[in-house]
Amino acid sequence: MKAQNTIKLTIQSLPENIPLARVTVAAFVAQVDVTVDQLEDIKVAVSEAISNAIIHGYEHRPDEWVEIEVSRSGHTFQIVVRDYGKGIADVEAALQPGYSTDSERMGLGFVFMQSFMDEVKVTSEVGKGTTVVLVKHLGSDQDAPS
């Protein structure tokens, strides 16, 4: 995807930074005509990806960093959420509902990402970290750069 506009945001791995990150992404996406439901879908997906990085990637260690990169190409938005934490041994299994071992969590993070976004790609390496790529198409891409 050739981006015509990109922002990069790096946040410390603290829950306090999640609302700021999802609102920032939503404000960036609002450059194009977008419905409230579409914006909310993106906010949920971003919140899940960053929460996963903090909870699972960094196991709540507050002194780590989560990188968020948002790119626009026409009406297509790509959001990349990256951590350098412990990684996921079995990505396929992690994508299934109920994968979380915490009884208070529902294991629905990736399910929400997959439901609310058009594309979700997860790459991970144990001991190196995890990258989640979320893509949302918000209408015609006739004005996308070639």
Alpha-carbon distance of 49 to 42, in angstroms, equals: 11
Which amino acid, 85?
G
Q: Does 106 bind other proteins (CB under 8 A)?
A: yes
- 105 a catalytic residue: yes
Question: Minimal distance in Å, beta carbon 51 to other proteins?
Answer: 5
Cα–Cα distance measured from residue 52 to residue 120, given in angstroms and rounded to the nearest whole number = 14
Candidates 11, 34, 42, 43; binder of other proteins (CB under 8 A) is: 43
- Cα dist. 95→18, 33, 122 in Å? 21, 31, 9
User: What's the count of helices (H) and strands (E) in the chain, helices before strands?
Assistant: 4, 5
* Contact mark string toward other proteins, 17..36, x via CB under 8 A: -xx--x-------------x
Q: Which residues are catalytic?
A: 48, 52, 105
Binding site for other proteins (CB under 8 A): 15-16, 18-19, 22, 36-37, 40, 43-44, 47-48, 51, 54-55, 102-109, 111-112, 115
